Structure 1
Amino acid sequence: MSLYIAALNSGSNGNCYYVGNEHEAVLIDVGISCREVERRMARSGLQMSKVKAIFISHEHSDHISGLAVLCRKYKLPVYITPGTMLHGRLMLDCVVNFTEHEPVSIGSLTVTAFSKLHDAADPYSFIVANDDITIGVFTDLGAVCSNLTRYFKLCHAAFLEANYDEQMLDNGRYPYFLKRRIRGGKGHLSNAQALQLFIEHRPAFMTHLLLAHLSKDNNSPELALELFNQHAGDVHITVASRYVETAVYRINGNKATANNALQPMQMALAL
């Protein structure tokens, strides 16, 4: 069984990640409008009818801004904690709580949440698994913690935050308090921190790494990609854009197809 993954948007202007098989899928966060989710999925050959649930990592607007409209229109259950509901001031029709480290079954998919270091009320990251294939969605990370390393080691592919370059942040226009918040242990992960995690803890079977949640002002896709490609080996590295959806990647654990991204028409035929 293969899993298909795509970032519909990734950055401080909105986050939304798709993971699914031939029959069902989930969205992790909905930080772009319902209309944009629909447009980007359609361009990628992905079908909303396959999306069976939404999982929310935390209450910041770039992760929930399109949630209410999307879940109401498609009558989708939203897996979210009470703390995130409260601090996000959300009014949703179908809410399901989840518990850390306890897998949730969505058809043949299983989604497992784990707590992370971020300046939100009750923040979580997720892995999505089907049979022997596991995908990680790891963004908004203040630091690399034991939970993150534990689940990163399971992943055949992952969305991993590489938010800022330390020198660009130091020399940039952000005020001191914001720089301190970003690198203060509950903000975001730097290129160097993400790279260290990748070098030290990537499993031998990892085929794809999608660098996620890059800062518009304190990073550049070219810089992050060049840095990681120096250490990639046979892992395919790409950057998830803050402006447009990524290609759809088919993850099957086979290194021989590590660089294959499905084009929209191929995706529609495959699914």
Structure 2
Amino acid sequence: MALFITSLNSGSNGNCYYVGNEHDAVLVDAGISCRETEKRMLRLGLSMKKVRAIFVSHEHSDHIRGIPVLAKKYNLPVYFTKETFGQCRFHIETHLIHYFKGHESIAVGELLVTTFPKLHDAIEPHSFVVNYNGLNVGVFTDIGSPCENLATYFRGCHAAFLEANYDEGMLDKGSYPIYLKNRIRGGKGHLSNRQALQFFLAQRPAYMSHLVLSHLSKENNCPELVQELFNTHAHDTEIIVASRYNETPVYTITGTKTASFRMETVDVSIQPVQASLF
């Protein structure tokens, strides 16, 4: 038994993440075109026929712009919070619209997708954990700062997509206007490389086999820099840096233990986690 994961694209130009088993799959966000989604999946040997649903983390265009065409062409249900859908400003058929709430677990074929709120500058931002047969894969991007929800679910993951958006020095010295710099690092924007690494080291379970660093900034980060930073501390976890231009390979997740978190006891607080490793 295994889960298969790939980033079809990751960055401010579009985000789309695939998680599935042999029979069923979901997309988390669909921020690239239907045509690009199909092309990239075809190159990877993946089939849209296995995709059962799209889960939407929030309403920003780099996470939703491909949804109307994908949903219509493949008759895919799309899961949003009600407030998020209200901000999307596109049309999809009524029967394809499904609402979720935080800390809800939704069965999609053989998969179970659990939702939880996070800190980001959107109306009702959420992240997701996809479960199959005791395996958990988390999709954790667009995070202003780590919170107790994120820590709880991360500790139960055998693999995860984790945001590492910017290098703090590059952002400080870069050409972005000050209001945008403050938005990015202001607690409801994005995680820096340092914050992501600090969180990873503090919360990583011993059985996490893969970490896909995601949503890198084009202007304020460097794939080689963040790869080297994490490799130094990764131990047995394979570190992959997701591209904003191409799909990653498909990675096979086969865990040796079941998840350590218990969904019924997850703290609904989204206060930032206080930790200092540097």
For residues 203-222 of structure 1, the aligned pairs below 5 Å read 203-222=205-224
Partner of 2:84: 84
Cα deviation code 1:202-245 (max 9, x no counterpart): 00110000000000000000000000001000100010000000
Do 2:82 and 2:100's aligned partners in 1 also have CA atoms closer than 8 Å?
A: no
Stretches of structure 2 that go unaligned for 5 or more consecutive residues are 258-278
Cα deviation code 1:57-100 (max 9, x no counterpart): 00000000010000000000001111111111122211111121
State the AA in 2 paired with 1:154: G
| Between 53-62 and 84-93, the greater mean CA deviation after superposition | 84-93
Alignment counterpart, residue 128 of structure 1, candidates 109, 127, 130 = 130
For residues 73-222 of structure 1, the aligned pairs below 5 Å read 73-93=73-93, 94-222=96-224
CA distance in 2 between counterparts of 1:136 and 1:123 reads 15
Do 1:158 and 1:210's aligned partners in 2 also have CA atoms closer than 8 Å?
A: yes
Q: CA RMSD in A?
A: 0.9
3-state SS, counterpart of residue 42 of structure 1 = helix
Partner of 2:251: 249
Partner of 1:29: 29
State the AA in 1 paired with 2:234: A
3-state SS, counterpart of residue 216 of structure 2 = coil
CA distance in 1 between counterparts of 2:29 and 2:201 reads 27
Do 2:120 and 2:187's aligned partners in 1 also have CA atoms closer than 8 Å?
A: yes
The number of residues matched between the two structures is 255
Alignment counterpart, residue 240 of structure 1, candidates 239, 242, 246 = 242
- When normalised by structure 2's length, the TM-score is 0.91
Cα deviation code 1:9-66 (max 9, x no counterpart): 0000000000000000000000000000000000000000000011000000000001
Do 2:24 and 2:50's aligned partners in 1 also have CA atoms closer than 8 Å?
A: yes
CA distance in 2 between counterparts of 1:118 and 1:102 reads 19
Partner of 1:223: 225
CA distance in 2 between counterparts of 1:67 and 1:176 reads 32
- When normalised by structure 1's length, the TM-score is 0.93
Displacement, 1:254?
A: 5.2
Displacement, 1:132?
A: 1.1
State the AA in 2 paired with 1:194: A
3-state SS, counterpart of residue 96 of structure 1 = strand
Do 1:207 and 1:254's aligned partners in 2 also have CA atoms closer than 8 Å?
A: no
CA distance in 1 between counterparts of 2:79 and 2:209 reads 28
Do 2:142 and 2:163's aligned partners in 1 also have CA atoms closer than 8 Å?
A: yes
Do 1:9 and 1:242's aligned partners in 2 also have CA atoms closer than 8 Å?
A: yes
Partner of 2:17: 17
After TM superposition, where is structure 1 displaced by more than 4 Å over at least 4 residues in a row? Answer: none
